[in-house]
Amino acid sequence: MTYQQKNYWVVDKTVDNLSSTEEILQAAHHIQQNHVIAFPTETVYGLGGNAQSDEAVNRIFNAKGRPSDNPLIVHISAQEQLEQYVQEIPDQARRLMEAFWPGPLTIVFRHNGTLSTKVTAGLNTVAVRMPDHPVALALIEAADRPIAAPSANRSGRPSPTTATHVHDDLSGRIAGIVDGGPTGIGVESTVVDCSSEQVMILRPGGVTKEALEEVVGQVDVDPALIEINQAPRSPGMKYTHYAPTAPLILVDGDVDYFCEQIIRAQDDGQRVGALITNEYCGMTGANKEVLMGVSTELSTIAQHLYDSLRSFGENEVDVIFAQVFTDSHLGSAIMNRLTKAAGGTVRRQ
């Protein structure tokens, strides 16, 4: 479906009683009519539609150009709503909800069949989260619907952290954009499976493994996150994501090794981009350097990651080399996104 006139609602997230503001009520009406709109969360912008409507979910997939065997995350505005959609809430899930909801944690439960089967991609489980953003919560409350919402970008592109990113990818493809300003965390939520006895991370994100284990003890990690060639448990994890406009290659080595890769590419006639921390600034000899922040401040790196990936314009460079980060704490989420953006391509010293 093509939208000739797209709605654009600018919302001040500090306003009281957001759910009753005209902008939120108009956006919520579109959700109720099974159209799809983009809205901010604390992680990235989401592309929202009624999670109980096949029509709405089809519009999400069509707008993104996303395969329909990819399950979607359902967003709610209050913990009490969860019982309407799942068979049970395990004790470990309750403890995680108490610790991290609202917040960047998605929990996988066994669903009770009340949601669109297109949301769950035919699986017996559903992923649910309660976002920690006043605009998102107000929209869900005003719509009075559970909202299915993947990231509001074309499939395969870096996720959007501003309304401008959404407009660049989805203009004319969705009913509107709720502009609540830049997002905070910058990478998507952590996804944990609580549908079986052992809690397992299916996607690293805004809540770290270390933080989860402080609440529920040992947490396993999906082997697909460790071994790139292993089949993932979630069908949505098998597609390339977050890719910039030029091929991305991760470089695991010191600054001399990093610069060596750039020189070799330039000797082959390629224009080279460098996705680097501030410490490498001016040292790489790349045709274009994009800085993500100080290497020790992983929260800043995460916040700027997608915007940095989008900073390389179409046909501006032929290849991009990126630094790697520690694979612990928030670095796990950063490396997950970079590895997917690079299609698993890494050069090691």
Per DSSP, 61 falls in state H
User: Any known ligand binding at 332?
Assistant: no
User: Any known ligand binding at 308?
Assistant: no
User: Any known ligand binding at 85?
Assistant: no
Report whether 272 contacts 287 (CB < 8 A): yes
Which pLDDT score, from 0 to 100, does residue 148 have? 98
Token code pair at residue 127:
């992923």
User: Any known ligand binding at 149?
Assistant: yes
* H helix or E strand, kind and range, residue 37: strand 37-40
Which pLDDT score, from 0 to 100, does residue 240 have? 58
* Residue 321 confidence (pLDDT) above 90: yes
Q: Quick: pLDDT tens for 159-180.
A: 999 999 999 999 999 999 999 9
Assign 239 a pLDDT band (cuts: 50, 70, 90). Answer: low
Report whether 258 contacts 323 (CB < 8 A): yes
User: Any known ligand binding at 196?
Assistant: no
User: Any known ligand binding at 171?
Assistant: no
* Residue 229 confidence (pLDDT) above 60: no
Which pLDDT score, from 0 to 100, does residue 327 have? 87
- Which sign does the torsion angle of CA 187, 50, 143, 81 carry? negative
Assign 341 a pLDDT band (cuts: 50, 70, 90). Answer: very high
Report whether 147 contacts 129 (CB < 8 A): no
* Mean pLDDT calculated for residue range 64-68: 83
User: Any known ligand binding at 66?
Assistant: yes
CA distance 72 to 74: 6
Cis peptide bond N-terminal to 134, omega within 30 = no
Helix count (H) and strand count (E) of the chain? Answer: 11, 16
* Residue 234 confidence (pLDDT) above 80: no
Which pLDDT score, from 0 to 100, does residue 115 have? 97
Domains of the chain: 7-237 (3.90.870.10), 248-348 (3.40.50.11030)
Which pLDDT score, from 0 to 100, does residue 67 have? 77
Average pLDDT, the chain: 92
User: Any known ligand binding at 20?
Assistant: no
By CB atoms closer than 10 A (0-12, 13-18, 19+), residue 329 is middle
User: Any known ligand binding at 310?
Assistant: no
User: Any known ligand binding at 142?
Assistant: no
* Residue 207 confidence (pLDDT) above 70: yes
